Amino acid sequence: MKKVIFGFIFLLLLAATSIAQEGMWLLTQTDQLDLSKKGLAIQTSDLYNKDKPALYSAILQVGGGTGSFVSPDGLVLTNHHVAFTALQRASSTSANYLTDGFLARTRNEEIKAPGYRALMVVEIRDVTGEVSEAAKGITDPTEKDKKVNAKIASMTDLIEKDKKDIKARIAEMFNGKQYMLFVYKEFKDMRIVYAPPSSIGNYGGETDNWMWPRHTGDFSFLRIYAAPDGTGAEYDAQNIPYKPKVWLRTTRDNLKENDFTFIMGFPGFTTRYRTSTSVHWNQEYNYPFSIRNYSEIIELCDELTGKDPSGQLKVASLTKGLANAMKNYQGKLEGMKKTNFLQKKLDFEKEFLSWANSNPANKEKYSTILSREKEQYKMLGNTKGRDNVYSNFQGLAGLQLSMAMQIYYIAKEMEKPEGERQPGLTEESIMEGQEELQYVYADYYEPVDKALLVRALKMAGSLAPGQRIAGLEYILSDDMHTIDQFADNAVATSRLNDLEFVKSLYKRSSKDIEALNDPFIKMAVQLYPLGEELQNTNRVFAANVTDIRKEYLDALFAWKGKNLYPDANGTIRFTSGRIKGYKPRNAVWYDPFTSLKGVVEKNTGIEPFDAPEGLVALSDKRDFGNWMDPVLKDVPLAFLSTCDITGGNSGSPVMNAKGELIGVVFDGNYEAMISDWQYDPELQRAISCDIRYVLYITQKFGNAGFLVEEMQAVR
């Protein structure tokens, strides 16, 4: 009965939504948001409809970000930085598509986007009852977690069975209060159509990253191909452009301040319902270590590839990804300290505890929640130094070690009973992983890989006695060989830089793999016990702390009676807001629009402010075509909105009140980097590339007006 009552209250609260722009809402909640009062001119059923395609059907999860269909022939618009890895993998020193850009003038010239796949949502369903039933009557959090994961695996396996282009995911919402099923159509053949040069697509580089005012033309076009019967098949010359049932039309209207906008995309992860314990952990340990770690690796890569264009190309995705994450963490850390965020959380929790202790019933149910969660974090705190260093050996200590650890781990897992394996590890997922290896090995650059291994080992060697990684002592305590000598010998004698040999290991037993006597395999075997220990510790921690956080959400509902949306978790979401500037600090105001003029003003001719001569000439001649904004008297470039976004939203389409495409999201502002933890309507802004700039660059600079015509966007 209690569950029924909670469910009723939960739905009631969702219906009583606030007028604030805050929220990354499930599509199943959009009809409860009073969007017509906020400015939406179409029906919510035009956004999402469980019975037929709607605008959501044009939204795709692509390359760690988002994209959208923008033509009847499968043309997809996303960010330049979302397509970055595809461009890098397709490039060579003689044809550098990152630096020079790429344009396919005919369909036959469109080239494969190596390793890229897209997911299109075809069904969303609440399956809370089915999933929760599997753990009914179980009180132990870890055992409950196992039963839930097993049920989820059986449900998704049933949906995917014998379907080559269907993927299913059941996502946990509100720390397990709700489970939502997402069924996707998977497209495996994506091709590059047009990408501007990095001097447009990455104009301003890391200097301008997360900053405003912004002048980056962060967009690229891809195309999805499918088998003639519409199946999402692998790359094949016989495949044809996919014909989406829904694609986004570009607006013919000009934008102005205070216009209503909305975004649909795949935001990554937020932590807005976390407590002070989690804030403290990230502020004091997680973010500082990650910032230092990534900074050192970027510096190492730059140093070793400075005079080698081939090396620069191979490590480009690694360094760009680390630089983006590092600046994100720097902004979060700075935001936390500047706003005294931890103390605000503590003050809030002081009020909460006062309420929790206000009567016997509340005290029994809620008064120990915070202290019990803090106890769970002590499990992680005891070995945080060792565990931080160990994390480098799981991908940031060179390709060969990474492969050795992955191969050995898979072999050991597959030897366990099916119910005890890592959730999601199946023969099919292993085969898919093998297919992706060709792209991983294409980025292999021996000097950097060897240096990463040496760096990780030296970090392990500097750990305090109580924090040592026992499995590495045979290397660290070897009086006959230095760490550098070990790395030289390991790289020279290992066969794990041979892609075909590595593929052959995936079906071997752990005993067979151990017998290879490969130096990296030996390291993987020695590190495996610690990996198992950490996996078990993290599994228990996650199960326990998730259970406690469910109680905390119960308490917040009981205390505040406030409407909540689930934290972002990589599933499709809706957010709305208005075009609006902001005040970052005293006596400073930022307008909500930038324009082409700003590109020229920033231009120094030196990277990252090296605007192409052709673009500067177009600006100087005021050759704006039909893309000039009547108020700006210039080609509009980027705009701000109060929409609520985070990582993963990159490439998301921005639409106006009529559901027409007005831009593509590519960033957030630095002053609101703490937004994963809290939404601040005064500071938080989504930064988007104006669709008029996308079309202007495509038509006037890129000489690809045929794409503008394909989008039916000619003015």
CB 224 within 8 A of CB 74: yes
Surface-to-core class of residue 700, CB atoms within 10 Å of its CB (0-12 exposed, 13-18 middle, 19+ buried): buried
Which letter, b or e, does each residue of 167-188 get, where b requires 16 or more Cβ atoms within 10 Å of its Cβ? bbbbbbbbbbbbbbbbbbbbbb
Cβ atoms of residues 711 and 70 within 8 Å: yes
Please choose, from the candidates 373, 638, 405, the residue with its C-alpha nearest in 3D space to the C-alpha of residue 523. 405
DSSP state of 487: H
- CB burial of 363-402 (b: ≥16 within 10 Å; e: otherwise) equals eeebbebbeebbebbeebeebbbbbbbbbbbbebbbbbbb
How far is it, in rounded angstroms, from Cα 173 to Cα 16? 19
Catalytic choice (650, 652, 675, 688): 650
> CA 68 to CA 55: how far, in whole Å?
10
Catalytic residue, candidates 57, 68, 71, 81: 81
- Token pair, residue 376, equals 């769970």
* Three-state DSSP class for residue 169: strand
Torsion of CA 149, 154, 155, 161, to 10 degrees: 140
Can you tell me the distance from the alpha carbon of 402 to that of 475, in angstroms, rounded to the nearest whole number? 17
Per the rule left: phi > 0, alpha: psi between -120 and 50, beta: everything else, 481 is beta
Judge whether 80 counts as a catalytic residue: no
Exactly one of 145, 189, 208, 218 is catalytic; name it.
218
Nearest alpha-carbon partner for 668 in 637, 635, 636, 642:
642
Measured distance CA(442)–CA(450) in Å, rounded: 16
Alpha helix positions (H), 462-509: 473-476, 483-493, 499-504
Tokens 């609260």, residue located? 13
How far is it, in rounded angstroms, from Cα 564 to Cα 272?
Answer: 10
Whether a cis peptide bond, with omega within 30° of 0, leads into 213 is yes
By residue count, the chain amounts to: 715
Annotation says 634 is catalytic: no
Strands 220-226 and 75-78: antiparallel
Residue in 530, 555, 6, 608 with CA at minimum distance from that of residue 275: 555
Closest CA to 437 of 205, 194, 114, 712: 114
List the beta bridge partners of residue 569. Answer: 269
In sequence order, the 6+-apart residues with CB closer than 8 A to the CB of 229 are none
Q: At a CB cut-off of 8 Å and minimum separation 6, what does 364 contact?
A: none
- Give the rounded distance of the alpha carbon of 497 from its chain centre: 29
Round to the nearest angstrom and report the end-to-end CA distance of the chain: 60
Is 650 designated active site?
Answer: yes
How far is Cα 155 from Cα 444, in angstroms, rounded to an integer?
Answer: 38
**Rounded Cα–Cα distance for residues 2 and 356 (Å):** 19
Nearest to 68 by CA among 695, 660, 532: 660
Active site residues: 81, 218, 650
